[in-house]
Structure formats: structure tokens, C-alpha cells
Structure 1
Amino acid sequence: MRLRIDLAYDGGGFHGWAKQPGLRTVQGAVEDALHTVLRVPVDDAGEPLRLVVAGRTDTGVHAAHQVCHLDVGEQTLERCVGHMEVPAVEALRRRLSHDLPDDIALHNVRVAPKGFDARFSALERTYVYRIADGARPADPRMRGFVWKLEDTLDVPAMNEAAALTIGLHDFGSFATPNPGGTTIREVKKAIWQRVPVKDMFGNPGNGEKAEIVSSSQKSGVGMEMTANDAENVGYSVPTLESGLVCFTIVADAFAHNMVRSLVNACVQVGRHRKSLDWFAQKMANPVREGSTGPIAACGLTLEHVAYPPDAGLTSRAASIRARRTLE
């Protein structure tokens, strides 16, 4: 039986996704928990509990929604039911959620549809890189997933650079291929945005309206609050991402260090340390020459993995396994 497992994690305490001897990794932590709840010895070669993931994140990179799959025998799966009067998959979800460390959150466990492969069936992955630049003070609550920069970034200039990445390109200037692999990828969206500064009430000062619920009203009935009403509250709590500079990139897949290297190159343009022509030359000549390595991992989060309808899973996996070319 193949199971689809959806989860999130704070990557700050992990040496990336992939299991490594002697190091704490996300894969290692989840597989350890699976061995515990399914009562399979770790050294049992007869039924290794090995996860296949949509995208291997690097050391310090986070995931708001990662996807992986697990092949497991039905008899093994039944072991986790115990005294619970629920199906085996639901029993696994409950026990696994309880046994995972606090920096990993389980979204769901379900039987995967026929042809599903967490890695090869994926249509696209979405990453977001978050920066607190000189235009706003750094919020210490976000130090684990936002990179701090004292300079104020030129967002329009960065968007000119990002626009050059859209389409099918060889990203050899920004990434290293896996053995036998390639750095050719198709970027579907790449955009820099400064998050508007807004508060819990929807920033009514900019003409937006917020809805609040009075304690004297019936549950579920709201009332519109005007700007004057908001002032009478006495304080305004900003939303957590207000003022951040965020880079959203969507691609069919990413090569090793590709996102963080692209971010670093865009940031050099945004700081006016490098020109747009320099960035264009790096795109045109896909050779890794070391002028921009990957930026700090803390600001990067895998936000979403998209899959085709169930009927297209098998064909998608077959096509993505083929070696890519620019033709």
C-alpha cells in the first residue's frame, strides 16, 4: 500500500531533508517515528520504511507544506490500530502526529491514488523567500524564517532580473546538478513583492473594511468597522508579514541550491551592487563561476507542491523521469 503523507517543519533544527548518518534530518526524524508506531525494527531489511519526498530541502530551509510517500504492507499498517476503533490509516495519522517532534507538524496521511509518486508526479513546487530589509525593523519573532538586511532593496529592479528566469532555461549559473542530472528547469512564475503594511483590522485607513463581531451579537453575525472605530480600539497589531520583501518562485522542479542562488543574485541587483546586464549574462551563460553562491537558508520556505488529477499521475511521472533538454 502506498500512503501520501503531507507535513510541515521548521528547518532550523535539521540538516536538511535527506537522511544522513549522525545528523538530525527531517527524513530521519519522520522515519524514526514511523518505525516506532508501526513496530518495525530500524534494522529490519525485510521492510524498510523509506520516504520518497517531493523536494529535498537544504539545511535550515523550512516547509509549510511538504509531500512524501511511503510504501508499507497492509499487515504492518494494522499494527498501529491497537485499541482504537478507527481505520488503520487514521490510526497511523493519530499516532504519528503524537510521536513526531515539535518542529514537525503532520497535515494528513491518506492512501495514495494509483500512479502517485511524491517526487515524479509533481507538476510544480512553490517556494517563498522572505527578507526584512532596511525599510522596516526586524521582528525577533520571525528571526527563524526571515533574513535581515540593512539595505533597502530596489524591488522593481529585482523584478526585472526575476523576469529573465521565467521559461525553460539552463540554470547552471545558479545550481549544481545531481549526478547524471541536469540544471534545465522551467520556471512558471518569479516575482518580488513588498507585503503591504496592514493590521488585524484589514488596514481600514487605506479604504479597506474589516469585520468584527460584538460580544452582544449572535454567533456568526458581523458588523463593518470604520476607520474611526479602529482608532477607538486603542492599538493596532500588524500582520506578521507586513513590510517584508518576498520572492515567490514556481517551477516544475528545482536543482540543488537553485532558489537561494537566484535570490542572492536578485538581491545583488536590488542593492545596486550588480547590474541587470550582469544577471542577464549569468542566464545566458549557464556556468557556475562563484560570484553569487546561495543566500542564507533561514528565509526560504517550501510553500506548496501541486499534482495533476489522479488520471494524469502515471503519465506525469513517466515524462518527468526523461532527461530534459532546451529543445
Structure 2
Amino acid sequence: MSDDVQDGFVRVRLDLSYDGKDFSGWAKQAQGQRTVQGDIEDALRTVTRSKETYELTVAGRTDSGVHARGQVAHVDLPAELWAEHRDKLLRRLAGRLSHDVRVWSLAEAPSGFNARFSAIWRRYAYRVTDNPGGVDPLLRGHVLWHDWALDMDAMNEAAAALVGEHDFAAYCKRREGATTIRTLQELRWERRPDGVLEATVKADAFCHNMVRSLVGALLFVGDGHRPVDWPGKVLAAGVRDSAVHVVRPHGLTLEEVGYPADELLAARNLEARNKRSLPGSAGCC
């Protein structure tokens, strides 16, 4: 599949962040609900005085209520439009966008760059507190309250069995024609000085609900409701377990997206489009 930029257009990389509380996720919705993509595309059209809407491609399509600190997107703009507006575009977007979404940089992307397919990893953080008094009111929109004391060592021991390349069907909401094979590069918990427990979850890509399902399983281990080996057994079973809860979205933030060196972008772009299968499993391409 070719990803060449159309003649007369320039591919522009956007680095952005948003508070997901009042958004129905990243992707535009047919029902007219407010989305991050919709807000930015509308703002771009307005500040460039364009008749057309230029569509954004994003690194990670976050769900309703999920936040992002280090989101990346790209948009292909007519070269003349880009040349006319590039110097003032960032400031004009800041004046047009609502305060819960910010674009921090706009730059011409290197050859072969695709915000989604060129990415080699995405890193999320999930934050939860087991403080019996609840969540700091100033953090309530970004931290989950878990009403049981949590054993961080047990959660980290359970998490270790989930790292690596696996079929995460047991932790994903299936989508027709989509693979659930992922390489989980990092999954660990640490307790911050303020007592908040923070999970770092890093993978080449994620399937739908994967991070929040993994966190839900590990919280059950941390509070003693399930043994340490339970999340690994669920993974091996390969089917959704009703005991695995998808935790609420407000504790989740997309922190960072990683890309290879410029000369490797195009190759990664092609590689990421291939449907994966595990050794010995059925599947092709």
C-alpha cells in the first residue's frame, strides 16, 4: 500500500495533548459528538480559511474520556496553503481551539512519515490511588480511586508474565478482521511520592480496551482478589474472562509515541501494515 504524499501537498506533523473528559474519543463520530479530531480539523479549516476539511491521521485513537500528553498526528495540506500559514498557524490554532486541547508543534514531516504506521511504540500511563480517603480533588480527573489496599510487588510479579509478544485476545475487544497479536514491551508499577500508583504500559501497538483490561486484571491481584498467576492464565486461555474489568478511562493517559530514525520511517510504515500471526498459528500477511 502506497503512502506517497499527493503532488502539490505537504505532510505536516502535529504534536498535541488534550484532556479527554469532555471528548467522545479521538475519532470523528457520525452522531456529531465532540471529538479531538473533529475539533482540530474544524480549527484548521477556520484559521486557514479553507473550504475543504483536511483529515488528520493519528498515532493512537484514544477512547472516550482518555487523555493524551504526547499524541502525534499528521495532515496533508496543499503546499501553497502551508507556505502561506505555517509561521502563524500554531498561534492561530491556540486562539481557536478550546482550552482542553493544545497543539504544541507543527512541522513538515520527513519522507516516509506516517503518524500511525511509522510508530514503533506507544507509551501509556494509568494512575490509581488506594488511599482510604479517596483521590486528591485536584487529581480526580486523572486518577482512579481503588477502595482496597494494593500490593505493588504482587502486581509487578503478575505483570511480568504478560510482557512479550502474545495474542492478547483475552484482554481486547475484538474487531472484525483485526489481529489481537501485540508485543508488550513494558508493563510495570511504581508508587509515586504522593502515594499514587502509576502503571507504565508500552507496546508496539494496542488493541481496543487492552490497557484498561490489563490494569483491571492487575488491580484484582493487587487487592488480593486473585492470585499472582491469574492474569497469565487468562492470557493463555485466549478468551475474554468476565472477571477482567475494563477500568474507567479517566486514569489513562497516552504519554509518548516513539518513531525510528528518519531513514527507517518508510520501511516501518510498510511493516506495520502487515497482519501479524504468532509462530505456528494460522494466519497470513
Question: TM-score by structure 1 length?
Answer: 0.80
When residues 179 and 90 of structure 1 are mapped into structure 2, their CA distance, relative to the original with a 3 A threshold, is farther
In structure 1, list runs of 5 or more residues that go unmatched: 82-87, 198-241
Change (3 A) 1:152 1:289: closer
Match of 1:121 among 118, 123, 126: 118
Instruction: Report the 3-state secondary structure (helix = DSSP H, G, I; strand = E; otherwise coil) of the residue aligned with 2:44.
Output: helix
Equivalent of 2:128 in 125, 128, 131: 131
CA distance in 2, matches of 1:313, 1:111: 14
Alignment of 1:1-327 (within 5 A): 1-21=10-30, 22-41=32-51, 44=52, 48-78=53-83, 81=84, 88-134=85-131, 137-195=134-192, 197=193, 242-327=194-279
Residues 2-34 of structure 1: CA distance to partner in whole angstroms, max 9, x if unpaired?
000000000001010010032011111111101
Superposition deviation, residue 120 in structure 1: 0.3
- Residue 284 of structure 1 deviates from its aligned partner by 0.6
* Matched AA of 1:133: D
SS of 2:147 mapped into structure 1: coil
Percent of aligned pairs sharing the same letter: 45
Secondary structure of 1:32 counterpart: helix
Unaligned runs of 5+ in 2: 1-9, 280-285
Given that 1:120 and 1:320 are in contact with CA atoms closer than 8 Å, whether structure 2 keeps it comes out as yes
User: Which amino acid in the other structure matches residue 223 of structure 2?
Assistant: R
Task: Indicate the structure (1 or 2) with the bigger Cα radius of gyration.
Answer: 1
Q: Give the CA RMSD over aligned residues.
A: 1.3
Distance in 1 of aligned mates of 2:202 and 2:132: 26
Distance across 2 between alignment mates of 1:90 and 1:3: 13
Structure 2 CA distance for partners of 1:264 and 1:27, relative to 1, 3 Å: same
Bigger drift between 62-71 and 178-187 goes to 178-187
TM-score by length of 2: 0.91
For 1:61, the aligned partner's letter is: V
Between the two proteins, the alignment pairs up a number of residues equal to 269
Aligned partners of 1:136, 1:191: CA distance in 2, in Å? 25
- d(CA) in 2 for partners of 1:121, 1:164: 28
Instruction: Give CA-to-partner distance per residue, 1:129-175, whole Å, 9 cap, x none.
Output: 00111267521000011111221101111111111111000100110
The separation in 2 between residues aligned to 1:181 and 1:167, in whole angstroms, is: 19
Whole-Å separation in 2 of the counterparts to 1:111 and 1:36: 20
| Deviant stretches of 4+, over 3 Å | none
Assess if the C-alpha contact under 8 Å between 1:5 and 1:109 holds in 2: yes
Q: Which residue of 2 aligns with 1:218?
A: none
Q: Which moves more between the two structures, 169-178 or 124-133?
A: 169-178
SS in 1 for 2:40: helix
8 Å contact kept, 1:124–1:251:
yes
